[in-house]
């Protein structure tokens, strides 16, 4: 019995050394970060929280700052080997940037046409299809929210992203269509063709992408995920309005072309008119200048004496006589 007991003890010690000593060493890859939990509690950096990092929480309002206050964890950097005790557990997280189709539903893969197109409703009650991608990565500064804040952070964040996107699509309107420059705006009659929200959305894809990036900045403080970019690449209208929309676009482009040509012709005429006014002004100035010079000379001669002015007039009269062919003189009887 003593031999069996000793064998059992030696076997247990061998298993313990193999399981918790040899296998207790681990490494962290370059694209990974890791945190430890001791008896289920994450190892923290003292009493520091996410509120101590203004750059992380600047996108949150005061109410959300109290709600999304997470402790700062001690992050294990790439390298190793590191050692963990039996009562410790290591949680590794990949922080490399990843790309996901914005129509992908991780809980229900068959949704959104098998994850190929996201449906949304526009302001004028049209069901459109959105295609595009989203780039994201795990925030090293808020690993607590990613690991322990919610059960499936990427599923939660994608739902958050889709909700914001659909709200933006449903409320988007560009107002008046600026077909010309800042001095001329043309608004189509809404009773005839409505607001054409699909055209507005297509023309303002960059603005929508920028809006999504701004609105999703708080995801880092909320869920520990950073959105690097939102790239909406396509907006498809319903099939029943596709042909009507194409006709509206054709008419829209035709009107735009005609207005542009009319404005170009008007601008050309304005330039020609300004040039003609400048030429006539220069001609008038050229005719007035000699008269003004003569006027100034006569004033100076008069100031020199009455005889000087008389002599000047006599000389001018003699010069005129040299240029004449016939002279008619009045004879006094």
CA distance 38 to 40: 5
Residue 85 CA neighbour count, 13 Å, CB half: 6
- Token pair in block for residue 208: 């929508």
In terms of Cα–Cα distance, which of 86, 53, 83, 84 is closest to 69?
53
Residue ranges and CATH numbers for the domains of the chain are 2-94 (no CATH), 98-240 (3.30.479.30)
Instruction: Of 162, 132, 159, give the one whose Cα is nearest residue 223.
Output: 159
For 37-94, how does the pLDDT look when each residue is reduced to its tens digit (9 = 90+)?
998 899 998 888 888 888 888 888 888 888 888 999 999 999 878 888 888 899 999 9
Q: What is the DSSP string of 177-226?
A: B--S-TT--B---HHHH---HHHHHHHTHHHHHHHHHHHTTTHHHHHSEE
Name the pTM for this structure: 0.60
Q: What confidence score (pLDDT) does residue 37 get?
A: 92
Confidence of residue 220 (pLDDT cuts 50, 70, 90): confident
């Amino acid at each position: 019995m003593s031999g069996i007991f000793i064998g059992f003890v030696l076997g247990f010690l061998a298993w313990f050394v193999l399981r918790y000593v040899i296998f207790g060493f681990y490494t962290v890859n370059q694209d990974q970060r890791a945190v430890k939990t001791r008896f289920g509690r994450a190892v923290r950096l003292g009493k520091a929280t996410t509120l101590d990092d203004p750059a992380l929480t600047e996108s949150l309002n005061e109410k959300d700052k109290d709600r999304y206050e997470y402790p700062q964890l001690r992050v294990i950097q790439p390298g190793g080997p590191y050692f963990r005790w039996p009562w410790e557990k290591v949680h590794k997280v990949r922080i490399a940037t990843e790309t996901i189709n914005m129509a992908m539903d991780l809980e229900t893969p068959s949704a959104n046409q098998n994850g190929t197109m996201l449906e949304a409703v526009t302001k004028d009650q049209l069901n459109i299809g959105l295609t595009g991608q989203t780039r994201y990565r795990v925030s090293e500064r808020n690993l607590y929210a990613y690991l322990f804040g919610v059960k499936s952070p990427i599923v939660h964040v994608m739902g958050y992203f889709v909700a914001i996107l659909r709200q933006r699509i449903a409320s988007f309107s560009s107002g008046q269509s600026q077909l010309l420059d800042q001095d001329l705006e043309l608004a189509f009659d809404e009773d005839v063709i409505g607001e054409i929200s699909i055209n507005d959305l297509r023309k303002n894809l960059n603005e929508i992408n920028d809006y999504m990036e701004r609105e999703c900045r708080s995801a880092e403080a909320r869920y520990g995920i950073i959105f690097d970019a939102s790239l909406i690449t396509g907006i498809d209208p319903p099939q029943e309005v596709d042909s009507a929309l194409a006709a509206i676009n054709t008419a829209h482009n035709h009107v735009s072309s005609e207005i542009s040509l009319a404005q170009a012709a008007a601008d050309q005429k304005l330039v020609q008119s300004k040039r003609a006014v400048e030429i006539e002004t220069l001609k008038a100035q050229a005719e007035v200048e000699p008269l003004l010079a003569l006027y100034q000379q006569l004033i100076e001669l008069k100031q020199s004496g009455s005889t000087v002015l008389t002599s000047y007039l006599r000389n001018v009269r003699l010069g005129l006589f040299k240029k004449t062919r016939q002279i008619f003189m009045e004879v006094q009887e």
